[in-house]
Amino acid sequence: MASVFEVLAEPRRREILDLLRDGERPVGDLVRRLHMTQPAVSKHLRVLRAAGLVEVRQDAQRRWYRLRPEPLTEIDTWLEPYRRMWSASLDALERHLDAMEER
């Protein structure tokens, strides 16, 4: 199975997750908003579902998709050292600017 990073490397899949961030949506709504064909959207949803990033709920003839944020912790964990690095760099910049101001 592809990693979350591999799955999210595709820009259209990130767009789908962005749309689902606000709540669940039927496939037809995703098709309209993305200006893609239904088979193309369904293909991306299948990949997202296999990675555990979305789940589906059947309601009569409609399939509703919603975001599952738990798998995104893999990305969050990977980004943490970079956040610390940027935070340290910004703190150093702030100290430097404060020192310049005092001169």
Query: Can you give the CATH number for the domain in which 35 is found?
Result: 1.10.10.10
Examine the domain organization and report whether 64 and 74 are in the same domain.
no
- Given the structure tokens 């309209």, which residue do they identify? 32
CB atoms within 10 A of CB 41: 21
**Residue 48 clears pLDDT 90, i.e. is over it:** yes
Task: Please give the residue range of the domain that contains residue 86.
Answer: 70-103
CB atoms within 10 A of CB 20: 22
Radius of gyration of the chain, Cα coordinates, nearest whole angstrom: 20
DSSP state of 53: S
Average pLDDT, the chain: 90
Tokens of 23: 């709540």
The β-bridge relationship of strands 62-67 and 54-59 is antiparallel
- Res 2: pLDDT: 66
Whole-structure pTM value:
0.76
Domain count, the chain: 2
